[in-house]
Amino acid sequence: MQRALQKCGASCLYIDRLFSTLNTHDGKFEGRNPPRDGQNQNNLKRLEQNDDYMSEAILNACAKNDVRPGLTFKHSAQRNQELEKRKSEKDFENRLRNPKRGRLEAERREEGLEKPIGEENKGFTLLQKMGYKPGTSIGKSSSSGRTEPVPVVLKTDRQGLGREAALREVEKRKIKIKANRLDKLSDYRSQLSSKFSSKAALKDLRLSQITCENLDLKNSIESPPYPWFWREKIKENAEDIETEEKDLEEEEKEEEEEEQLEPEEQLEMLTLYLRRTYFYCIWRVNHKSIRAMTESKMLQFSPFESSVDCTFWHKLNQIKLDEDMLEEKERTIWGTFAHNESSSRFSIDYSAFNEIPQFSQNKQPMRGVLVNFNTIESFKDCDKMEIIKKHGKDLETSWNEEIDPNIALGKFILICFADLKKYHFYYWLAFIAPKGPPALITKDPVPISNILSGEQIALLHYLTQKSGQHFTVKLNDDDSLEILPFDMYGQLCSTGSRVFLGFLDPGYLPDTPGWPLRTLLKVASFRWPELLEKANKIGVICLRLSSSDQEKIAARNSVYLEVQLSKEAEIETQWVGWERNERSKFGPRVANLSKTMDPGRLAECAVDLNLKLMKWRLLPQIDLEVIKNCSCLLLGAGTLGCAVARVLMGWGVRKISFVDCGNVSYSNPVRQSLFLHKHCLGAGALKAKAAAESLLEIFPGVDAQGIQLDIPMPGHSITESQHEEVKKTVQRLEELISSHEAIFLLTDSRESRWLPTMLGKNHNKLVINAALGFDSFLVMRHGVLQASADPPKDSSPSTPSKQKTIDGHNLGCYFCNDVVAPRNSMLQRSLDQQCTVVRPGVSQIAAALAAELLVSVLQHPLRGDAPASFDQEQSAADSGSPLGLLPHSVRGYLAQFQIILPATRSFPQCAACSSLILNEYKDKGFDFLLQVFNSPGFLEDLTGLSELQKNSEEAEIWALTDSEGEME
């Protein structure tokens, strides 16, 4: 019974609470021994005097604080119940906050549950009256009685009491959400107005932060009352830089920050601080007093707004792939700035990499440094403050040298990471400027027309055309102007002349000069420190040129102001200048060019990407331009032709021509990768044209064409009426071979390769041949002519050489190992002999080897005349090609998964490439070809193969005769 009460859950706790309510202190039982008879009678009397635990009095007492339906209900009871509920929740939270107290309560609870219910419990006594005995169940004498409580089963498919109220609450929330949506739609205009107001408040907040920081530093206040009273600082640790760029990969997760004040609230607090402390307001400027305001206020500068043109990223992409590769070296680049009436625009385009900058009077150059990192991690982890400090020192050192008036005194830094695969460019610009004591404005900026007449302004424009970006303006007693070099300013000041500092100002605000003035004033104090000692006021002419009025001075925008420099402490110069991103925070920007680039240009760059990456580590000496500019003629657009074309495109070959006379059949697309089911419909598309169209669909930048041509073959007789047509075909084929650098023989018969072999040798072209068997293949390159223009004369059979290579002009062709001239092999063939019946993988292997053989030959300095090795153990370094060995032929046997590399010399009596054949074609031309086409034995008679066959037969007869004689 003890375990049953413990497992009963809420019901047992409720019963136990009733039992504890009914306990009496006078009738406690001590231990488990039953009381004596007298004690039993006294106890029973006391029990009878108390109310029964099922009586109405007990239930009414329990219902006072219970507001469940069906019991006595009062509003006051409900409120008390809610208060008790809140109190219990608070107590529970307190117990969670105080683990010691919660642990003690848990220990006491466990201790109470482990002890059995004592006999002193009044409820236990009542159960004993009903016949309960410890260890048994009530009302059952057998051991099969229930000793466990009835489990509680929740009915989720029924709605109990209080369910309707919950549904009404859900419905109310839905109605409220819908009303909020309607309010948002109706308040769209107010939302836009609020958005613009927030932007204006953020702009005023930035200005107030700058002012607060300057005023606090001037009054020796090292830290602001709140961190956001001053501008956000660039932290030296890269992990603390808040980039907040959506496109940055592997961005570090930041911890959730506490709720911050809105910009409007921050602006209100900061404005109140400035008014109370410095009598300063950004809308009504007051500093300490109205009189002090009119006498001096701090000089502020309008920062540059960078604009990097997409042409710059295209040029950087090219330089990274072709020149820099894995180097992270610094490059000198150029940027330009000009006056604009809406922004201080600083532009960087493709001309940034020129050695000499391009500039005009309204396009002023500034020198910069580019650092392109290899990984996004190195871009993020680099020490930004150390970078700007390093180049700031270099800039300060250059001030001791002669200053070029045409180049800005400042300098900019561009650090970036180029994701060349996705065409995402992550970059951050810094316009280096010294950070020092603020300069004070002793005379508010006024239009230049207030101090100079119209004639003087025109003269100033004329004289500044050759003066450069910074200069000295001297005003003579006769009101004439002189434009002098910037270096003469200190000397003229010491003589008491009326002089001004002048510079071409990119600023656009009427009372704020541009960023270059910050560096200009620093250089002036660096070169002429006596100006600070005498506390001289410097007059500055901010010359702003208008690009819309033929580069004339815009008098309404150019301003004049007077400043007084503050004396600096003898400390190391600090440097600032990192640009804020679009969110007005210190962090990089992202240029996504994948959506703006021309799809054709994008595909072309992507094709070359993997090839150029080979040069970074694996093959730095490979010449990709030779492969790209190689024009290839593929004779045959079948299984081999399609596969070879795909591999050539992978190597970047841009010009591919197909020659074929067949149509696409339904059996082709599964084996020939350039054809689809649509090419089989009807009579079938022309193979050559369909293959060329497929290449253009794969890569629009390829120059692919398909030519329908039926190649004439030896042994295939030609009637007299076909002479003109065949002659045009031969001329067309010869034109194609002469206009291409590499020729691939990929036809499906032996005799169809004869004419291209002869023409290729005659025009000294690199010919690659690929032939298939059922489970074997042959890939070979034909020999070329010698360096002389004339075909080589017949030579005597060469003797075996001790060298393990054969020169390229001595290599044999496809027919050099045959003693039988090609004939019509299509006669009397069954269906399995007419179709190319091979294992499907053989054609892919042979096609890949053919294309790779061409690429390897093109990388050799001798090209087609490169020697072939028949020693498979020769090292790649000895071959002369960066891609490895240059075999003459590759024979593969798929049944044994074996490849051998035989090399053979050219055969003087070859029916295709011997000098006899080439000279005969040169002498007779098409008439010679007619004899070859119509007379199967003509080639054998011309080259002496017939006599060779006859001699071999006689030798065999003599050998048999000798054997018979010996047998006798």
Instruction: Render pLDDT for 484-541 as a digit per residue (tens, 0 to 9).
Output: 888 888 888 877 778 899 998 888 888 889 899 999 988 888 888 776 666 568 889 9
The pLDDT of residue 748 is: 87
The pLDDT of residue 961 is: 46
Q: Quick one: three-class SS letters along 886-928?
A: CCCEEEEECCCCEEECCCCECCCCCCCCCHHHHHHHHHHCHHH
The pLDDT of residue 24 is: 39
Q: How far apart are CA 627 and CA 882, in angstroms?
A: 14
- Could you tell me which residue, 961 or 452, shows the higher pLDDT? 452
Within 13 Å and on the Cβ side, how many CA atoms surround 218? 18
Per-residue buried b or exposed e for 345-369, using 16+ beta carbons within 10 Å of the residue's own CB: bbbbbebbbeeebebebbebbbbbb
The pLDDT of residue 810 is: 92
Phi, psi at residue 415, to the nearest 5°?
-105, 145
686 close to 708: Cβ distance less than 8 angstroms: yes
Q: Is the dihedral of CA 187, 188, 192, 193 positive or negative?
A: negative
Q: Give the DSSP H or E segment for 520.
A: helix 516-527
Which tokens go with 23?
């306990």
Average pLDDT, the chain: 78
Which residue pairs from 21-28 have beta carbons closer than 8 angstroms and sit at least 24 positions apart in sequence? 21/53, 21/58, 22/50, 22/53, 22/122, 22/123, 23/120, 23/121, 23/122, 24/50, 24/122, 27/120, 27/122, 28/120
Residue 692 has pLDDT above 80, yes or no: yes
Which of 161-165, 329-333, 510-514 comes out lowest in average pLDDT?
Answer: 161-165
The pLDDT of residue 534 is: 67
Domain ranges, ordered by start, for the chain: 2-129, 305-592, 618-943
917-961 pLDDT tens trace: 999 999 999 999 999 999 878 898 899 888 887 777 655 555 444
The pLDDT of residue 881 is: 82
Which tokens go with 805?
């290579």
Residue 398 has pLDDT above 90, yes or no: no
pLDDT tier at 767, thresholds 50, 70, 90: very high
The pLDDT of residue 137 is: 62
Q: What is the CATH number of domain 618-943?
A: 3.40.50.720
Which of 252-261, 587-596, 897-906 comes out lowest in average pLDDT?
Answer: 252-261
The pLDDT of residue 68 is: 53
Residue 553 has pLDDT above 60, yes or no: no
Closest CA to 20 of 30, 12, 8: 12
Q: What is the mean pLDDT of residues 637-664?
A: 95
Q: How far apart are CA 688 and CA 747, in angstroms?
A: 12
The CA-CA-CA angle for residues 660, 661, 665, to 5°, reads 95
Which of 143-147, 472-476, 768-772 comes out lowest in average pLDDT?
Answer: 143-147
Residue 614 has pLDDT above 90, yes or no: no
Residue 557 has pLDDT above 70, yes or no: yes
Percent of the chain with pLDDT over 90: 32
The pLDDT of residue 231 is: 77
448 close to 558: Cβ distance less than 8 angstroms: yes
pLDDT tier at 112, thresholds 50, 70, 90: confident
Which of 187-191, 324-328, 456-460, 741-745 comes out lowest in average pLDDT?
Answer: 187-191
**In a 3-state reduction of DSSP, which class is residue 851?**
helix
pLDDT tier at 703, thresholds 50, 70, 90: very high
879-899 pLDDT tens trace: 778 888 899 999 999 999 999
Q: How far apart are CA 656 and CA 644, in angstroms?
A: 10
The pLDDT of residue 21 is: 44
Of the spans 73-82, 426-435, 439-448, 470-479, which averages the highest pLDDT? 426-435
pLDDT tier at 54, thresholds 50, 70, 90: low
pLDDT tier at 441, thresholds 50, 70, 90: confident
The pLDDT of residue 169 is: 81
Closest CA to 768 of 791, 784, 748: 784
Strand partners for 331: 370
691 close to 648: Cβ distance less than 8 angstroms: no
Residue 753 has pLDDT above 90, yes or no: yes
Of the spans 59-68, 235-244, 312-321, 646-655, which averages the highest pLDDT? 646-655
Q: How many CB atoms lie within 10 A of CB 26?
A: 7
The pLDDT of residue 240 is: 41
Strand 589-592 relative to strand 424-435, pairing: antiparallel
Residue 242 has pLDDT above 50, yes or no: no
pLDDT tier at 215, thresholds 50, 70, 90: confident
802-833 pLDDT tens trace: 457 899 999 999 999 888 888 777 665 555 55
**In a 3-state reduction of DSSP, which class is residue 476?**
coil
123 close to 53: Cβ distance less than 8 angstroms: yes
Closest CA to 642 of 695, 604, 683: 695
The pLDDT of residue 297 is: 72
Q: What is the CATH number of domain 305-592?
A: 3.40.140.70
The pLDDT of residue 579 is: 92
Per-residue buried b or exposed e for 277-289, using 16+ beta carbons within 10 Å of the residue's own CB: ebebeeeeeebee
Q: How far apart are CA 390 and CA 868, in angstroms?
A: 56
The pLDDT of residue 80 is: 82
Q: How far apart are CA 655 and CA 481, in angstroms?
A: 65
The pLDDT of residue 111 is: 81
Q: What is the mean pLDDT of residues 299-307?
A: 88
Which tokens go with 868?
């072939």
Residue 253 has pLDDT above 80, yes or no: no
Q: What is the mean pLDDT of residues 756-773?
A: 95
**In a 3-state reduction of DSSP, which class is residue 504?**
strand
Residue 273 has pLDDT above 70, yes or no: yes
Question: pTM above the 0.85 mark?
Answer: no
Q: How far apart are CA 793 and CA 784, in angstroms?
A: 13
Q: How far apart are CA 349 and CA 341, in angstroms?
A: 21
Residue 309 has pLDDT above 70, yes or no: yes
Q: How far apart are CA 77 and CA 83, in angstroms?
A: 10
Q: How far apart are CA 703 and CA 693, in angstroms?
A: 10
Closest CA to 298 of 285, 289, 307, 311: 285
Q: How far apart are CA 921 and CA 711, in angstroms?
A: 17
Torsion of CA 924, 926, 929, 935, to 10 degrees: -90
346 close to 305: Cβ distance less than 8 angstroms: yes
Q: How far apart are CA 691 and CA 645, in angstroms?
A: 9
Q: How far apart are CA 267 and CA 537, in angstroms?
A: 34
The pLDDT of residue 136 is: 66
pLDDT tier at 247, thresholds 50, 70, 90: very low
Within 13 Å and on the Cβ side, how many CA atoms surround 358? 8
Closest CA to 201 of 265, 269, 276: 265
Q: At what angle do helices 915-924 and 926-934 cross, to 10 degrees?
A: 120
Q: How far apart are CA 808 and CA 864, in angstroms?
A: 6
The CA-CA-CA angle for residues 66, 67, 68, to 5°, reads 100
Of the spans 118-127, 339-348, 843-852, which averages the highest pLDDT? 843-852
Closest CA to 114 of 243, 6, 229: 6
651-670 pLDDT tens trace: 999 999 999 999 999 999 99
Residue 237 has pLDDT above 50, yes or no: no
Cα distances (angstroms) measured from residue 498 to each of 209, 310, 489, 517:
37, 47, 10, 20
Q: Which residues does the annotation mark as catalytic?
A: 835
Q: How far apart are CA 499 and CA 473, in angstroms?
A: 6
